[in-house]
Every structure is written in C-alpha cells, then in structure tokens.
Chains A and B, each alone.
Chain A
C-alpha cells in the first residue's frame, strides 16, 4: 500500500519547478543548481540568490540523505489521510548539496526509529497518473 493516499493533492508543476517533477515522473530526484555559480537551491525558483543568474541546471541528488527533522502527524489534515494516521512528515538534507532540504515522508519507520541525523535512502512511490513522489526509508544494517 502506498504510504499516503494517491488521491492527495497532486503537484501541479509551473514554469519554475516543471523540471523537478518531470524528473520525478522518471523516479529521478534532481535539484536545481545555478547555471553560473553552481549553487543549489530548493524549492525551485527563477533567480540564483548568490549571483542573480537566471540560468539553471538540474543535478541528481545523492542516493542517501540525512534526517534533518520530522513530525508524526496524528490528526488528519486532509480527508484522504484519515486512514493513514499516524504518519511521518520529514525533512531530509543532503550535506553535499549546500543548504538543500526536501519535505518528504519516511515510509518504513516506527516513531521510535526516528532520530535526527539517521541515514535515509530514496523509496519512490507512485502518486497518481504517471507521477512519483520521492519518499525515503531508513538505511538499515551494515553500510
């Protein structure tokens, strides 16, 4: 079963974040990087905050990240989530990607497994017609 309902609000990409979601549809997690000074940023936006270039590139994220923060949601904030509580909303960071963090879910964790700093890896899930969501699971066992 999908971690959250597939009838959740779906992303409606606009000009700035279309490349992110086009890659997600192919199960590739990419982040926007300045085409000039190469600084990463997220969520996607039209101008580099460092050098004001409007040229963008898209670079693939490392396969693993770290849990930056999390919350276990007990009260469904959407009718489609009523049979999914409690569920985990998390922030995952990528230490090699400047200041980039992504909002996501940790799909396989009991609340007591969650700890800031633990290593997580991608666990793609379909979220409706030809779209996938970059969710994560905790890396277990020997590295």
Chain B
C-alpha cells in the first residue's frame, strides 16, 4: 500500500443527499434564475436525504459562486445559519475544498447539516473563460493572446506529450469514454450524440493539441450534496456514503498554475499540483489508489484527467498513455471514470455533478453502475491552486 506522510486522520462525516436542477446548454435556462436553480438543487438533495430544508444549517461553495449564503438561507427557510464558507480559486480546484469545509464544520460541532453546492448558469452570468482580471498575471498573458483555459491547458498538454509520451490518442480516448458514458444518462447534454475516434479527430482544432471535444460543455446547471454527522446519517433514507478523507491545497510555486503565468515548478510543469495532496489523502483514507473501484476525475478539459491519473498515483505520468490506451478508464476497466458523462458530456457545473455521480455509484443507484463499488475517488480541478480531492466509501448501515 502506498503510504504518504499522514496529516490529520480519516474524516467522520457522510454525504446523505444529492440533488440537481435540470441541466441545459448555456443560455437555454430561461424560466429560472441561477439562484432559483441553486435553491432547487439543495431542496432536491434534502428530499433525497429525507430531511426538511429547515434542518440545513450551513452552506459551502467554491469558484466564487454568486449565490450568497443569506440568499440560500432565505429561500430554503433555514432558521439558524451556523456555517458559511467559500474556497478561493477557479478551475474547479475547490470542489472538494468546499466538502472539506463542510466536514470540518460538522466534525467540530459547529453545524449539523451543510449543503455543498455550485450553480453555474453561463447563459445568465456570462460565459466563463473569456479573459481574466487585471493584474500582473493578466498583463503577462493577455497581451500575447493567451486568454482562455483551452489555450492554457494546450500549453501544458504539449509539454506532457514531450516529457511523458502521451499523445492525441490519449486525449481522444478520454473524450470518447466520457461520451459513451453519457449515452445511458437522460440528464446528459450529449446523450444521443455518439462519438467514435474518427468523429473526435474530425472535430475542429481550438488550440493545438486541444480540439473541440477536448473541451467541456458550457451549461446552465446547479447541483448540491448534503454533508452531515455519523449520528444524523444513520437514520436517513439512503445508503450513507462516508467521506473517508478529503483534502484541499497544493504545492509551492503553483500560483494560479496553468490558468496563471505558467511558472509552476519546472520538473512538474505539466502535472496537476496534487502529488503531495494525493499522497496525504490516500494515507488518511488508509487505502491505495489501486483499491479504488470507481473514480470521477475533473474533466473541464481532457488533459486534466491525464494530470489527475499521474498525480494521484493511478499510474506514473510516464505510463498515462499506455494506461489510458489499455481501456482502463472504460466501464469494465480497472478504473472506470466519469460514469455519468462528466463535464465533457453530461454538464459543466465545476464538477459538482461528478460528486453526485460518485455518491450514486457507491449507493449502487447509478445508471452505469460499476459492480460492487465500495471505494470511490474524486479529483477537483487539477493544475490550479488550490486543488482538492476526496476518497468516499459505501457503508452499509
């Protein structure tokens, strides 16, 4: 078993409810505001758990979600708010950071039941990735026409090809796996749009080597999970899913990583800023990457799956090309990923749909169910700072 330096201990908190709004292409959600979608996703998670929304007493989010805790509290009728937190940083890096905040608050006894949510209606708030904020990083990138995450990921991926022997075939396989997984999922925006290798390579080049189908969807979507204590979890409707370990952070000199000035440490330039985080996470969970039955790897762009596979130790960076080509990521493979279609083919809501899917897999309720799934792994956006990840486990009560 892989062992890293242990920091802290395994978490003692559970995910007991999951919920989402309808998912649409960006701009198609015309009858409901982004706030309405956020509220609906949390209300759906409460129904799923079998609790009243008035039992929720905290909110956690990330990536500068615009729907404020006070607005969420008002709509859901929460009488007393006991926790409200936001994880800094973009790129979906804070996905499990928001869960980490919720776990910490529940374990400390500061709050009882926290809704971790993300609402992202790009048709209402404006499309993401259309240029950054003023400052030295913007000055160092925008005047040179480096403006959108697809270009930034392309620079990183080209170097990964060079350093680690990955190739366009690696990216194609990741995109195809996600697309196939979407076909059984009625929520998936790419359901009914099958894609083979030829169709992938026919898609237009955005920023070489990234093609259109290496880039995630742009959606109007909201999704939420509820985090609570072991005591509260044991009486609820669903199979409780335990948060074995969760972590948020990163290494020195990552700045904003590939979304920033590209001065990450030279020997890890094309990696995901998760080497240390991953080692500590698996040590806390008391499992090895090989023990994972099903994984959800943040996939705003196909290169992020490459980063996560290498950094979290599912294989060495030099082995990623071979590992992916072996079919390991497919259903029936050794590490099925993004089983609902992911950000590439279900919807893009900064990964919160990936977390919901992992919970459904561990409950045994997923559409593309991985048989006997007991241990699940999820990576938030890699290559940015902070990044985050979690290990979840099925616990039959």
Contact = CB atoms under 8 A, between A and B. Distances in A.
Nearest to A71: B154
Given A8-B142, A71-B208, A87-B145, A116 B159 contact: yes
Contacts of B144: 4, 89, 103-105, 133, 135
Nearest to B260: A43
Chain B CB within 10 Å, residue with most, of A14, A73, A74, A81: A73
A75 interface: yes
B155 A91 contact: yes
Interface in A51-97: 68-75, 77-78, 81, 84, 86-87, 89, 91, 93
A124 interface: no
Contacts of A81: 145
A37 interface: no
B151 interface: yes
A69 B263 contact: no
B252 interface: yes
Given A70-B158, A100-B263, A11 B204 contact: no
A63 to B, nearest CB: 19
Interface in A1-39: 4, 8-14, 16-17, 20-21
Chain A CB within 10 Å, residue with most, of B136, B255, B261: B136
A119 to B, nearest CB: 16
B332 interface: no
Contacts of A133: 143-144
Interface string B143-165: 11111100100111011001000
B139 A78 contact: no
A40 to B, nearest CB: 10
Contacts of A86: 208
Nearest to B162: A116
A73 B367 CA distance: 37
A135 to B, nearest CB: 8
Contacts of B142: 8-9, 11
Contacts of A91: 155, 159, 262
Interface string A106-118: 0000010000100
Given A71-B208, A77-B148, A104-B144, A49 B159 contact: no
B135 interface: yes
A127 B253 CA distance: 30
B158 A43 contact: no
Nearest to B134: A12
A98 B146 CA distance: 23
B155 A45 contact: no
B138 interface: yes
Contact of B146 (A10, A21, A89): A89
A71 B143 contact: no
A41 interface: yes
Interface in A120-143: 127, 133, 135
Contacts of A116: 158-159, 162
A71 B159 contact: no
12 contacts: A9-B143, A10-B143, A11-B142, A12-B134, A14-B134, A43-B140, A69-B156, A69-B159, A71-B208, A74-B204, A91-B262, A101-B266
Interface of A: 4, 8-14, 16-17, 20-21, 41-45, 49, 68-75, 77-78, 81, 84, 86-87, 89, 91, 93, 99-105, 111, 116, 127, 133, 135
Given A14-B136, A105-B145, 17 more contacts: A8-B142, A9-B138, A9-B142, A14-B134, A21-B139, A42-B263, A43-B137, A43-B263, A49-B252, A71-B209, A73-B154, A74-B208, A78-B131, A87-B145, A89-B145, A104-B144, A116-B162
